[in-house]
A = this chain, B = another copy of it.
Amino acid sequence: MRIGFIGLGLMGSRMATNLLRRAGYDLVVYNRTRAKAEPVLDLGAIWADSPAQLARQVDLIFTMLAHPEAVKQMALGEEGFLDALPPGAIWADCSTVNPSFSREMASQARERGIRFLDSPVAGTVGPATEGKLLFLVGGGPEDVETCRPLLEVMGRKIVHVGGHGQGTGLKMVFNLLLGEAMLAFSEALVLGRALGLSRDTLLDLLLGSAVVAPFLNGKRQRMVEEEYAAEFPLKWMRKDLHLASLTGYEEGIALPAVNVAKEVFALAAGDGLGDEDFSAIYQFMADKAGLDQSQAKASYGRDE
């Protein structure tokens, strides 16, 4: 079996590397900018000059792209791969996109005799490197089984969530929880600091308690050092909250907290924080509150 991989960014390059090293299959790759493909080419991957050219050589194609528009362009744009795949091939889209888009891609694939899975991942660069991602998969049971051995090369756990769009649906649910928790925690810290509690006291008391999500421990260092190296860029969090908002509209449901979080992240992006880690929303709230390191008030005796 020959495998194709399109999208060799931060995540995709690591996933492709694991396929190369640990699966023992030939891997044909394509990326919009070729330079980003060099590391996997050095490891033995084969370059294709277009998505279509790649598709003609493979039975299974993985995509790991930034947003629905990018997926659509690769699949259905000029020299797109969907018309070039051999009938019966499988396309597993690992991108974080909205469920209705996944269902549309499933439908486009089916019309061409291609099998489709939406198989987005939970986990960041670290787990991607170690092959320990969590795959949330939507699609037919047989297709999931066909892909499982390959997914297991890249991930520690494969959850077959349901039909098409339910893998990306669950991913969206995870991400809105991340975004809202990060914003709520930021507001909590800023309020506490404004009341004279030190940031460290607050972090000590809140992190590890039952009222905050455990992933926030992993953001502590960034908030303390006020350096927000991007594990998950703020602009993609904005995108994911947008996709959740869009899905809420499509499904006819109200999501007020999602929508407000979306707009607060949008304001932060407007302040130039889009490429920082999404935990930089704390910095945005702290800046607007006029808080900085030097202004940390003594934690005792405020009113004496």
Q: Which residues of A contact B (CB under 8 A)?
A: 99, 103, 106-107, 140, 159, 161-166, 169-170, 172-174, 176-178, 180-181, 183-185, 187-188, 190-192, 194-197, 201-202, 205-206, 209-215, 238, 242, 244-249, 251-264, 266-267, 269-271, 285, 287-291, 299-304
Contact = CB atoms under 8 A, between A and B. Distances in A.
A270 B256 contact: no
B214 A257 contact: no
Given A213-B181, A215-B210, A253-B190, A197 B166 contact: yes
A187 B263 CA distance: 12
B196 A302 contact: no
A236 to B, nearest CB: 13
Contacts of A180: 180, 184, 187, 257
A63 B251 CA distance: 26
A246 B243 CA distance: 10
Contact of A254 (B176, B201, B254, B285): B285
Nearest to A136: B205
Contact of A256 (B106, B251, B260, B287): B260
Contacts of A202: 170, 173
Given A166-B300, A210-B213, 9 more contacts: A163-B299, A163-B301, A165-B302, A166-B299, A169-B195, A170-B197, A180-B187, A187-B255, A254-B270
Nearest to A281: B257
A223 B147 CA distance: 35
Given A178-B211, A215-B210, A290-B252, A103 B257 contact: no
B191 A255 contact: yes
Contact of A245 (B159, B213, B245, B289): B245
Contacts of A266: 248-249, 252-255, 288
Contacts of A263: 254-256, 259
Interface centre among A106, A159, A196, A271 (most CB of B within 10 A): A196
Nearest to A99: B195
8 contacts: A163-B196, A165-B302, A212-B213, A253-B266, A254-B263, A254-B270, A256-B260, A256-B263
A128 to B, nearest CB: 16
Contacts of A215: 210-211
Contacts of A184: 176-177, 180-181, 184, 257-258
A191 B302 contact: no
A177 B270 CA distance: 23
A196 B301 CA distance: 43
Contacts of A210: 213-215
